[in-house]
Structure 1
Amino acid sequence: MANLLPVSLLLALLFYSQLHPLYAFVKLVAVGTRIEFRSKVKHINASHQFYRGDSLTEQSLDMKLDIASPLREMKQLYFSYYPILGNSTARTALVKRTVDLCFYIQHPNSDRLLRIVYDYVRERSNLPERCPVEPGSYYIRNAKPSDVPVPAFIPESEFMLELIYRNEVRREIMLEFRFYGKLVRVLGAF
């Protein structure tokens, strides 16, 4: 009977070590490869810095907007998500939204999908909370692509996330943001 105790403990330890990986979580995370962020008008200066860490989950992004005059007409936001499958250059948007930016800032619950990204960005920025957007410096700091929640219906693939801000009156593009990357599955306890 005394000899069974060490054997039982050894078997229990072996059994636990084989099952332990089953308790880990798999998370789909975004890994950036390239960013485009530019202003198309003179009174807005847009800049960014993309930091690539040692691991896939250590990437971060800082963005800055210097606005010289009030933005009364920047009202339309076009939000698009394009999966890029294989070597395909043809892009069909999986998600496409057009929102009135001023309305959305005051009513973020009006679009649940956009709210996922909006809440994450709000925590890391001093972006305006009402319209018109006053002149000043606005920033987003330490935004980590791997921390942004990814909806379950988004496939594991390369992608492009595009945000285009337009002038409501003249329909001209004021700001463009494109984030190119890939979604990868990461195993770990999150």
Structure 2
Amino acid sequence: MREELTRSSCAWVLILVVFMPVTGAWRSFKVILTNIDFEANDKIVDLNVDLQNESGESKLSIDIKTLEDIEDVQLMVDVGLETDKGNFSTLINRTLNFCKLLKQRNSDPLVRVIYEDLQKHGNLFKECPIRSGTYSLTNYKVDEEMLPSFLPEAKFRFGMAISKPKSGMIVRSTIYGRIDKSKGFDNLKRFSLG
């Protein structure tokens, strides 16, 4: 009995190990970035942004050149879903000390997860003060697996502002996009009971 139970458990573990990477990639939606607006303080930073949409996939690349060391950086993040044409209802609105986020692993877990995902695709800031130099984000694609599976099909806005408390704005950007359930691997509409 014990041997049979062990064999059965090993079979289930093997099945999970083999098929988990495949099933982990199944998402019922795609995140498509449609537009990005940005403004940079050209005395502090030089910024180039490129958004590519090919074959239903959005890829974002950013080249950043800081012209001076930047201390005491403040980050404002704003996420909203479109409720009426052109009107967005804010879901998340946070202002935090970016340097504190980099130093303390437990500060603002949501923004930290997003930033750690961005770091996988480039050479971004890892410490404060942010030293003058060149940084980049290359072919970043939103990892849908990080998002809750119950997201509605909707248009969204992701706003971000980076500033120095005493000197003002460094970078301000807004990314527009949509959550498209027709582009996912397994369209949930097939499973409706009607």
Q: 1:114 aligns with which of 104, 111, 114?
A: 111
Say yes or no: does 1:68 pair with 2:64: no
**Counterpart in the other structure of 2:77:** 79
TM-score by length of 2: 0.74
Q: CA deviation at 1:124?
A: 1.0
Aligned length: 162
1:71-98 Cα offsets, whole Å, 9 max, x none, are 124x1100010111242x3333111111
2:94 is paired with a residue whose SS is strand
Structure 1: unaligned runs, 5 residues or longer: 1-22
* Structure 2: runs of 5 or more not aligned: 1-22, 187-194
Output aligned runs, 1:22-171, within 5 Å: 25-54=26-55, 56=56, 58-73=57-72, 75-87=73-85, 89-145=86-142, 147=144, 149-152=146-149, 154-170=151-167
Separation in structure 2 between the aligned mates of residue 46 and residue 160 of structure 1, nearest angstrom: 20
Measured in 2, the distance between the counterparts of 1:155 and 1:142 equals 25
Contact map agreement 2:50 2:62 (CA 8 A) in 1: yes
Q: 2:90, 2:36 → 1: CA distance?
A: 18
1:105 & 1:151 partners in 2: Cα distance? 25
What value does the CA root-mean-square deviation take over the aligned residues?
2.3
The CA deviation string for residues 154-186 of structure 1, in whole angstroms up to 9 with x for no partner, is 53310110110111123x211012110101224
Residue 113 of structure 1 aligns to a residue whose secondary structure is helix
Maintained 8 Å contact 1:29/1:146: no
Q: Is the 8 A contact 1:104 1:110 kept in 2?
A: yes
Contact 2:34–2:177 (CA under 8 A) maintained in structure 1 = yes
Seen in structure 2, the aligned counterparts of structure 1 residues 153 and 104 have a Cα distance that, compared at 3 Å, is: farther
For residue 119 of structure 2, what is the amino acid of its counterpart? R
Quick one: which amino acid aligns to residue 183 of structure 1?
I
User: For the pair shown, which has the larger CA radius of gyration, 1 or 2?
Assistant: 1
Tell me how far apart the structure 1 counterparts of residues 162 and 148 of structure 2 sit (CA, whole Å). Answer: 23
Cα drift, residue 39 of structure 1: 0.7
